[in-house]
């Protein structure tokens, strides 16, 4: 098995800590390590996976190659000329990484928090075995679902067929009936009550030939453009014209409808740290958070915090704050977070220190 880490993102949901020039994976949000560094470390340390740095390839926008090389020396980097979402990134990995067609490729996001890392490695190991053949499918596309424990509206959902199952290394593997995109609050409550339904974590495993065949069948325009551009050394010329679409929409949804996808479940304390609210929870701080646009009036109470940039420097301020903020761009309003101000200030200091080091 080898691992492809997809590292990028727009950096907008955790502004002003992140930005399009310095997205979430490369920021030390939870401690000295960045989420990207944690992702690499959990693959290389511990038992079960037997991976070395040479088994990890990071696919990233060319703007972030320096971050990858600085934060994870020794791993390979595959640079995209422009960000075109995960379908194009995975097509590039399938075309450009010279590994055997029968070998299993694991695809992971760079910016997830996994509390139980040993359990995560065990799930990956079982999923890799399932990708070599399970439930009567010779080379299935395997997706990892996270057990849903609340009616989340920020995640897509996976619907397994519970009536059909197979045991693989102690884990139950089910065919996937369908993907469901991010739901309304009412629909999320309905989904939580359905047995077996899981969050879509964006973690996939498949043989290289299986994903190549799936791309050829469901997104031939993307695969052909990437393959031709790579073979003819014209990738920078053709890549910006590739349609921007996720692997979920382009391949996994139609593949599930065709009976080509199976699911294994992960219950190891997963979060994608996809919002200020999720970041506060990971830091042990109560409250909720959201990004406030530059021209949006702010109403921060006495128990709230505001994080903003002024003249390029990050600042944490306690409420009350009213009106349009004096800030370089969008800021963060953290409602009810004042009791955790020390943790928020430590976060801001970590980020500011890392930025200063990289200047």
Q: Are 351 and 315 in contact (CB under 8 A)?
A: no
pLDDT higher than threshold 80 for residue 11: no
70-91 pLDDT, tens digit per residue, is 999 999 999 999 999 999 999 9
Predicted confidence at residue 43, as pLDDT, reads 96
**Mean pLDDT (whole number) for 288-316:** 94
Q: Are 157 and 147 in contact (CB under 8 A)?
A: no
Higher-pLDDT residue of 234 and 11 is 234
The total number of structural domains in the chain stands at 2
Whether 166 and 286 map to the same domain: the answer is: no
Whether 102 and 241 map to the same domain: the answer is: yes
Q: What are phi and psi for residue 113, nearest 5 degrees?
A: -100, 130
51-60 pLDDT, tens digit per residue, is 999 999 999 9
Predicted confidence at residue 358, as pLDDT, reads 82
268 band by pLDDT with thresholds 50, 70 and 90: low
pLDDT mean across residues, the chain: 95
For residue 63, with 0-12 CB atoms within 10 Å meaning exposed, 13-18 middle and 19 or more buried, which class applies?
middle
pLDDT higher than threshold 70 for residue 175: yes
Whether 26 and 66 map to the same domain: the answer is: yes
* ∠ Cα 165 212 246 (to 5°): 80
Predicted confidence at residue 117, as pLDDT, reads 93
**Mean pLDDT (whole number) for 16-29:** 93
> Which region among 37-41, 133-137, 280-284, 323-327 has the lowest average model confidence (pLDDT)?
323-327
Whether 31 and 130 map to the same domain: the answer is: yes
Whether 48 and 162 map to the same domain: the answer is: yes
pLDDT higher than threshold 90 for residue 8: no
Domain coverage including residue 299: 276-358
What CATH number is given to the structural domain containing 146? 3.90.550.10
């Amino acid at each position: 098995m080898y691992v492809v880490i997809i590292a990028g993102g727009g950096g907008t949901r955790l502004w002003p800590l992140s930005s399009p020039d310095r997205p979430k994976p490369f920021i030390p949000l939870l401690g000295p390590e960045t989420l990207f560094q944690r992702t690499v470390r959990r693959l290389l340390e511990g038992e079960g996976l037997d991976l070395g740095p040479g088994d990890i390839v990071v696919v990233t926008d060319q703007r972030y190659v320096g971050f990858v090389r600085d934060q994870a020396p020794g791993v390979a980097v595959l640079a995209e000329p422009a960000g075109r979402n995960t379908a194009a990134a995975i097509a590039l990995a399938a075309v450009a990484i010279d590994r055997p067609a029968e070998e299993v490729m694991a695809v992971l996001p760079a910016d997830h928090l996994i509390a139980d890392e040993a359990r995560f490695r065990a799930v990956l190991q079982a999923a890799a075995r399932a990708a070599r053949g399970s439930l009567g499918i010779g080379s299935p596309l395997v997706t990892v679902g996270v057990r849903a424990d609340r009616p989340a509206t920020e995640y897509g959902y996976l619907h397994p067929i519970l009536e059909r199952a197979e045991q693989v290394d102690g884990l139950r593997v089910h065919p996937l009936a369908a993907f469901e995109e991010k739901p309304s609050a009412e629909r999320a409550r309905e989904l939580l009550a359905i047995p077996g339904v899981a969050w879509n974590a964006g973690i996939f495993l498949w043989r290289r030939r299986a994903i190549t065949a799936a791309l050829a069948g469901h997104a031939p325009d993307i695969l052909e453009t990437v393959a031709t551009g790579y073979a003819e050394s014209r990738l920078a010329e053709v890549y910006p014209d590739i349609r921007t679409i996720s692997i979920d929409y382009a391949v996994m949804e139609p593949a599930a409808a065709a009976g080509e996808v199976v699911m294994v479940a992960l219950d190891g304390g997963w979060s994608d740290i996809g919002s200020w609210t999720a970041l506060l929870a990971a830091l042990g701080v109560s409250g909720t958070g959201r990004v406030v646009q530059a021209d949006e009036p702010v109403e921060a109470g006495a128990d709230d915090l505001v994080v903003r940039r002024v003249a390029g420097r990050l600042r944490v301020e306690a409420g009350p704050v009213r009106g349009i903020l004096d800030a370089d761009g969008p800021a963060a309003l953290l409602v009810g977070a004042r009791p955790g101000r020390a943790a928020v200030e430590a976060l801001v200091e970590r980020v500011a220190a890392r930025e200063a080091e990289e200047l």
